[in-house]
Structure 1
Amino acid sequence: MNSELLEEKEKSELDSPNFILSNKNASDECKNLMKYFSSIFGKNILSGQHCNKSTMPDIEYIRRVTGKTPAILGFDLLSYSAGVETTESTFECIDEVTNNKGTVEAALYWAKNTNAIITFCWHWFSPLKGKDKSFYTKNTSFNLVRALIDGTEENLALIKDLDMIAYELKKFKDNNIPILWRPLHEACGGWFWWGAYGSQSYIKLYRLMYERYVEDHKLNNLIWVWNSPDKDWYPGDDVVDINSADYYAPLGDNRPLIEEYNAFYNIPSSKKPLALGENGPIPDPELIKLSKAYWLWFMVWNNIAERILWNSGEDLKRYFSNDFVITLEDLPKLR
């Protein structure tokens, strides 16, 4: 698709979103970051790259190709789960866990020494009864319904895991670093155990995490990024700050995803800013401007075992040099 083919009906007419944080005790750093997001809405899109390895080869590849660094660095707390040493672990599982170790330290380094914005997701290995990559439903018999009942074995294991991750996130709080926190992602697909028992159990888990982190652990440095394309799984405006969805267009498809933007934007009742939580090909920034599909950021997923480069070197050069795309070099000092 090019600009000449973009028709009027493919343009968004949606209102501006609400940038007010759900946590009334949110840190000044979170408030400043949301103010910045509000200031660039409709004018720019933030570039992002996910790094599941603490050595961050994806970031280095982009730097070498474009001479620039993504504004948002995406990390995964995968190896910080309690149950990573599962039975029947394949080499792929062990490799992923091992290379993810040191992620917190890497994220802290970038946050302290640059203006980079940090986001975390968590491929949560099953708290109990899992094998191999036990965050997948097919690899665990962990019962979320029982885990939401106080005092059960499943509940105690789940709370223990939540508190372990809170300890890691507190390291950022102690350094006044805001985190775009995208937990329990892609639940409606059912392929992760936190989505295997339906929307109501998922919503209870999400709200349990929010309450425990905000009220008990006082993690006021978290900006809560919900992640699903299905409104039936929405946990409520009072526990969500930013809406996001993951969408992988076919290789070579760099359309602005206007249909997806319009559909996902209308899920919250109080309209929230909308981001691409994960994507493959980068939406063409020129088409984003024309379509008014004002994604707050894009987040290219890591190259899978170095077999897939979601975007060609020429695409990366063109997009990262576009004035509409914000890179790390463009970010103001927000902390």
Structure 2
Amino acid sequence: MVPPAGTPPPNPQQIQQFLSSVLSQRGPSALPYAEDTKWLIRQHLLTLISTFPSLDPKTATFTHNDGRSVNLLQADGTVPMPFQGVTYNIPVIIWLMESYPRHPPCVYVNPTRDMIIKRPHPHVTPSGLVSIPYLQNWIYPSSNLVDLVRELSACFSREPPLYSQRRPSPSPNSSPNPNPSHNQSNPAVMSNYGPSPSPQARPQPARPFPPSPYGGRPQPQPQTEDQTEVFKRNAVNKLVEMVHADITGMRKAREVEVEGLFSTQALLRRREEEIDRGLKELQDEREGLEQQLQIVLMNSDILE
């Protein structure tokens, strides 16, 4: 596990420029996200980095199980994990898949060279893939990365996913251990990261774990959900997506309608001004004719 580091916080302006640049690319180098979701993706990442500066957005190549490689956005860094009064940092990678944010991201625990993944773990497979209820119940557009990281922190606090492998330090009055594997692997949640100075201060061996509910399979998966619940959740997700699409369509239609009304209003104002000018001209002409009529009448009286 990684102790808190004193790295400087990321520059928000540089992050905004980076995200705007990569999400606005076109052609073969364009990221494979839907155009109508790129703004939301940018906001999700900016909010995430603002809340958790230990995560850094970047692009990298993701290889699917079928061999396809694609360039995707990821949030790479550490997630804070409070445990027994101490906050540890769990290294993770959050991949934003092609269908994000309509579907959840792919989260991996990313252990360093001196860490191992705890086996068995209820939420982390031996390959590092994370599966928690928040990911399984992802709902677009309300689900987001900030709440995801908070749930990761809470789940990891209850069940730390990593162990640290300590290297024994040479001691002048200690003999080499004939069984190094017995004391080189310790729980990563110990409050002291360095090697112990004396035999009395050595950490206790890892506590035994309950038997695996997955039958010893190499890729443990969550227990099978009730098909009715899965159908209901999928139906709700589809309904939310349809409602969001309908609202977006209605908003665009209303915007077009309002723009049309504004154009009509401007046209009516121009016509009103033209009518006012024409009416004033008629009034001026009428006054001129009345004056000429008075002059003619006066001249006729004089002639008589």
Tell me the TM-score normalised to structure 1 length. 0.20
User: Which one has a larger percent strand, Structure 1 or Structure 2?
Assistant: 2
Name which one, 1 or 2, has greater alpha-carbon Rg.
Answer: 2
Which of structures 1 and 2 has the larger relative contact order (alpha carbons within 8 angstroms, sep 6+)?
Answer: 1
Tell me the TM-score normalised to structure 2 length. 0.22
